[in-house]
Copies of this chain bind each other. A is one copy, B any other.
Amino acid sequence: MKIEITDINLKALFLGDKGENVDIFKELLLKMIDEHVGWRQNYQPQDTPVISPFDKSSESFNNTVDHVRSVFNELSSKLRSKSLPWHTAGRFWGHMNSETLMPAIIAYTAATLWNGNNVAYESSPGTSEMEEEVGHELATLMGYQEDKGWGHICADGSIANLEGLWYARNLKSLPLAIKEVAPEHVEGKSEWQLLNMSTKEILEIMDKIPDKLDEVKAHSARSGRHLQKLGKWIIPQTKHYSWLKAADIIGIGLDNVVSIDVDHNYRMDIDKLEAKIRELAAQEIPVLGVVGVIGTTEEGQIDRVDKIVNLRDKLAKEGIYFYIHIDAAYGGYARAIFIDENNEFIDYDKLDKVYKKYGVFQEKNEWLTEDIYNSFKAMSQVETITVDPHKMGYIPYSAGAITVKDSRMRDAISYFATYVFEKGADIPALLGAYILEGSKAGATAAAVWTAHKVLPLNVMGYGKLMGASIEGAFHFYHFLKDREFHVNGKTIKVYPLTKPDFNMIDYVFNEVGNTDLGVMNKLNHDFFGHASYAKGGLYYNEFLTSHTDFAVPDYGNSPLPFVKSLGFSEEEWAREQKVTVLRASAMSPYVNDKEVFDEYAVKIEAAIQTKLETIYNDYQQA
């Protein structure tokens, strides 16, 4: 009997802030271990065990086991004294981490006992099939056509982004290679036109010349040629350093990276994007590609992917084409909140009804705007997307992933002809020939596969978990907004940076009346010191957060409206050149429950009060 679960209880999927579900954890873990051991015992049961009872009672054996036990005492002590309490229901409001899904942890451990290497199907049939399944699920989640999209797990978002850039670079160079190898297919096209062919056009030509595939590839960017012709790689001003690394590694270089200002919502300014592309085009400088971000690392903001896509389509009519890669490492799984049981993207005006039906939000959906909805919806229109299971997939590290709109694109980066795909199964015999990495844990695929089975990638499954996280984030946002603390006769107020696009809240403390930006920055930096590992005693800390700096070299003047809204002058900004903000990725799956949140609100208010008092007392004594 298989029952369709429409009312998943998220509390059954985590170990629990106090380990409440350790009974279930042990039950399933031990079951998997026992079933594994049974499998070992029954593989050629005529073979007697190689480790005999005499071995096990020998002195050296027992000394070795005691030695191992001692090492585990040391390991346990180190882990318990130097780790972060992500698991707390309501006291950790910092880094992008939290409890992870209990089934994923168990599945990872179980699969490790078999230790498949998904680099090749031959050495890991079971987990290779799971990775292929997971890749297709993620591609479908992104709205890619089921028979065309593809995806795979990779080490992390930086690797996925690098692979996206590799796709873009090699694809963009194909027309130059075709011109050299099969010029009749691009007859009459200028270099500018060759460098502005759409991905679709390129793939259609490639389809026509299967016998020249290897030769065309040999003439592409993989040869080392053409790299400096391919144009600019455009990223948002909130640029993550992984994009600088990626441009360095891939050889197009930092000189070809262009960043576009963000608007006051910390989303890429699409007008400025268009202006920049037109400015480049006027100089016949092509655009290799544009990166949009779904869930920026520092602010959790959602770029207007729909507008980037519309711009691409508009400019295409003018003979300008750019590749789009979406870095949805953080926010990608949140697309599940828009997907119904039939993998259809739900109409905007039907969402509230669906959310009510499945209990996605406990109180209300105050989060969603049409902007955000449209951004998520348009993801299906881009070439590649990074989406990390180890972020909003609630999978333990390391599990990144990339999805590809059209699996034919693989030929731009592959190292073997397509015949190494198994017939029919569409599973590569050597996955390593189609991805950036080589050897890779089958266990990661098992963990993600299990999580996707437990929580389907739609509104009933992951959507519900996303809702819980976002609703909890909004509770925290309202808790912070305009809250005042009174310390030594002074009033310290809290100001969130923006209404969040997702589940991340950036905020600052400022003393009422303070007009010195340096003083505010110091206060927030000091607060971070008391709410992080920096001062030691992590395990006794009652409120934890993270911090970041928005400084002119990276952010330009984008923070200025926020800074001015706090009463600082433009001169202050010009002098200080940065604003230090506190940053909370609200991933706890528990504080969507308003009662739970309110219980913690009292505690974290008191903890913040104590920290501020300590800081102000230190100031007085200094």
B441 contacts A76, C-beta separation under 8 Å: no
Output the least CB separation between A207 and chain B (Å): 22
Which of A30-38, A518-526, A569-577 lies at the interface with chain B?
A30-38
B7 contacts A222, C-beta separation under 8 Å: no
A123 contacts B97, C-beta separation under 8 Å: yes
Inter-chain CA distance A43–B85, complex, in Å, is 8
B-chain residues with CB within 8 Å of residue A437 when the two chains form the complex: 155-156, 158-159
B70 contacts A2, C-beta separation under 8 Å: yes
* A50-89 to B contact mask, C-beta < 8 Å, 1/0: 1100011010111111111111101110111111111111
B115 contacts A222, C-beta separation under 8 Å: no
Output the least CB separation between A474 and chain B (Å): 18
B-chain residues with CB within 8 Å of residue A241 when the two chains form the complex: 415-416, 432-433
How many copies of this protein are present in the complex? Answer: 2
Inter-chain CA distance A502–B115, complex, in Å, is 23
- In the complex where A112-B108, A453-B71 touch, is A55 in contact with B222 (Cβ < 8 A)? no
Inter-chain CA distance A439–B159, complex, in Å, is 9
* Minimal Cβ-Cβ distance residue in B for A163: B249
A91 interfacial by beta-carbon distance below 8 Å: yes
Inter-chain CA distance A49–B436, complex, in Å, is 43
Inter-chain CA distance A405–B123, complex, in Å, is 34
Inter-chain CA distance A534–B166, complex, in Å, is 33
A278 interfacial by beta-carbon distance below 8 Å: no
B126 contacts A224, C-beta separation under 8 Å: no
B-chain residues with CB within 8 Å of residue A24 when the two chains form the complex: 65, 68
Output the least CB separation between A115 and chain B (Å): 5
Which of A15-23, A178-186, A337-345, A377-385 lies at the interface with chain B?
A15-23
B222 contacts A248, C-beta separation under 8 Å: yes
Inter-chain CA distance A67–B441, complex, in Å, is 26
A18 contacts B33, C-beta separation under 8 Å: no
- In the complex where A82-B125, A82-B126, A110-B79 touch, is A253 in contact with B47 (Cβ < 8 A)? no
B224 contacts A255, C-beta separation under 8 Å: yes
B63 contacts A155, C-beta separation under 8 Å: no
A114 interfacial by beta-carbon distance below 8 Å: yes
Which of A98-106, A365-373, A480-488 lies at the interface with chain B?
A98-106
A95 interfacial by beta-carbon distance below 8 Å: yes
B32 contacts A76, C-beta separation under 8 Å: yes
* Minimal Cβ-Cβ distance residue in B for A83: B114
Inter-chain CA distance A590–B52, complex, in Å, is 12
Which of A17, A80, A155, A450 has the most chain B CB atoms inside 10 A of its CB?
A155
B58 contacts A438, C-beta separation under 8 Å: no
A105 contacts which of B79, B113, B256, B388 (Cβ < 8 Å)? B113
Inter-chain CA distance A33–B252, complex, in Å, is 47
A249 contacts B248, C-beta separation under 8 Å: no
A40 contacts which of B11, B17, B82 (Cβ < 8 Å)? B17
B-chain residues with CB within 8 Å of residue A316 when the two chains form the complex: none
Which of A29, A218, A441 has the most chain B CB atoms inside 10 A of its CB?
A441
Output the least CB separation between A534 and chain B (Å): 8
A8 interfacial by beta-carbon distance below 8 Å: yes
B158 contacts A388, C-beta separation under 8 Å: no
* Minimal Cβ-Cβ distance residue in B for A25: B33
A63 contacts which of B7, B15, B255, B390 (Cβ < 8 Å)? B7
A8 contacts which of B7, B55, B64 (Cβ < 8 Å)? B64
B68 contacts A13, C-beta separation under 8 Å: yes
Which of A139-147, A303-311, A318-326, A396-404 lies at the interface with chain B?
A396-404
Contact sample, A vs B, 17 pairs, CB 8 Å cutoff? A8-B60, A12-B64, A18-B50, A19-B38, A24-B68, A26-B33, A29-B33, A47-B88, A47-B91, A71-B103, A78-B129, A78-B130, A83-B126, A84-B114, A115-B396, A224-B254, A241-B415
5 residue pairs, one from A and one from B, having the closest CB atoms: A224-B253, A251-B251, A82-B126, A158-B438, A19-B37
